Amino acid sequence: MGERRYSKLEEALEIKSLRRIINSYLNYPDAAEADVRRYERSFKKLSPAHKALLSHLPSKFRRLRWCISVNTHFIMSMLQAFEPPFDMSQDIDIDEHGNLKHVSEDHIHTEVSSNSQERDICAGQPVSAAGSIVSGLKSSNFCRGNDVTHSSQKSSNEKKEIHPENLCNSVADKSFTSEHHTESCSSGDDMKVNGDLASCCHDSTDNGNASSPRDLMDPSLGLNVPLVDVDKVRCIIRNIVRDWAAEGQKERDQCYMPILAELNRLFPDRSKERPPCCLVPGAGLGRLALEISCLGFISQGNEFSYYMMICSNFILNHTQVVNEWTIYPWIHSNCNSLSDNDQLRPVSFPDIHPASAGITEGFSMCGGDFVEVYNDESQEAFWDAVVTCFFLDTAHNIVEYIEIISKLLKSGGVWINLGPLLYHFADSYSPDDEMSIELSLEDVKKVAFHYGFEMEIEKIIETTYTANPRSMMQNRYFAAFWTMKKKPVT
């Protein structure tokens, strides 16, 4: 990938986006408390006889508040550990046309955006040497350094050497979560060596970050956190269960095991000296990418949501022991519960200590939009395998995704996919008229064959996505699973 400089406008947009996400995390207790108040108001409207019948509910509300405080403790600890990739204290002002009006003292006063529609850009990070994982959020797009350990970017304008195995890009904050992903979310951050797992490509020491999460928030946003953002934080909590709790094991067995089995079958002679390279676009909270690393691959997760990156960074780099944290992931819905105790049950994580899991050197999490980051000459024919899990349908243009996946792979390289086709931008009523190419499975395969793939294995896998295993409602996907190989060019 070539060097890329971020304009001040782009950096300002990233800061704006990141502030919004931090605000949503900070707003978590208030939004949850508002729900409990709503339950209480409804309870108060009951007749005395009905109240007497449900006299246990006030104590449930008290328990809910306690659970919220425990979840909040986790969220605040995670934010505390987060080192923003840029100086968040900058005074930024973007006008209604998407132009930068003013950026602190030393920068341009007016800069016209070449692409005012560009989505929030955010984090990225490469994982460092064996023993520690690093994932970090980066402000600039490209942060690949040769030092995976804790290489960092100094500023978003600094040029960087590119080493394909340690790249790291900018993440856009789009918690792109389509319905199935609605129950999912993500974030990430730095991992370090010997003690931390993943790290990214930014230097946390030099950006003068704020010391408290509250300092990072955007006061202008205040408490006006849109409901969609409130929902994203709750999604992240469910994704923690999917990726990092014992309770998510069944889902991981359904989704990740078939992928890992295929990688194991297709790369039987993985050498320690020259391990094969595997890319995981849309890596979410990073568990699959970590498992692939532990299998003996140089594994890189790519993720563009700051929500996901902040959280994966924390789990990968800052957790010290198994089950260090406890959350109450299921408290936000009273629907379809078999019992209050089910709804209020705690979930501990991580079920493994990432830093002791046995990763292969070169593990990294790279922040940024898959298309922006990997549609680059430096990536061509670099990868032995690409793994997409619940990712393909996040595309505006799935044909573009497939074309890029094909370009990334070496001749004879392998693409393993698992997921439905619940197109994220389908039925989008956004005024932006966002592009959305929605193909059937048959057409997706046709496109793949056009780009040089041949089918090796194909089946349907039944699975859930961030489902509450004890809920009376379970959304099941009959997900497409395949292994395709990129035909050698003759």
Binding site for ligand SAH (CB under 6 A): 175-176, 181, 184, 186, 242, 255, 281-284, 288, 302-305, 308, 369-371, 389-391, 394
305 vs 343, beta carbon nearer ligand SAH = 305
267 vs 374, beta carbon nearer ligand SAH = 374
Q: Name the minimum Å distance from CB 348 to ligand SAH.
A: 19
Is 103 in contact with 16 (CB distance < 8 Å)? no
**DSSP-derived pairing of the beta strands 364-367 and 298-303:** parallel
306 vs 330, beta carbon nearer ligand SAH = 306
Q: Is the peptide bond before 350 cis (omega within 30 degrees of 0)?
A: yes
- H-run or E-run covering 281: strand 277-281
CA distances from 203 to 104, 177, 196 (A): 21, 29, 15
21 vs 197, beta carbon nearer ligand SAH = 21
216's tokens: 């990072």
Q: What is the DSSP letter of 337?
A: B
* Residue 148: Cβ within 10 Å count: 30
Q: Name the minimum Å distance from CB 480 to ligand SAH.
A: 14
DSSP string, 193-207: SSS-EEE-SB-TTSS
φ/ψ region of 260 (left if φ > 0, alpha if ψ in -120 to 50, else beta) reads alpha
Q: Name the minimum Å distance from CB 435 to ligand SAH.
A: 13
288 vs 421, beta carbon nearer ligand SAH = 288
207 vs 304, beta carbon nearer ligand SAH = 304
For the chain, helix (H) and strand (E) counts, in that order, are 14, 13
Q: Name the minimum Å distance from CB 235 to ligand SAH.
A: 9
Q: Name the minimum Å distance from CB 388 to ligand SAH.
A: 8
Q: Name the minimum Å distance from CB 44 to ligand SAH.
A: 40
Phi (first) and psi of residue 216, to 5 degrees:
-90, -15
Integer Cα distance of 451 and 107 in angstroms: 44
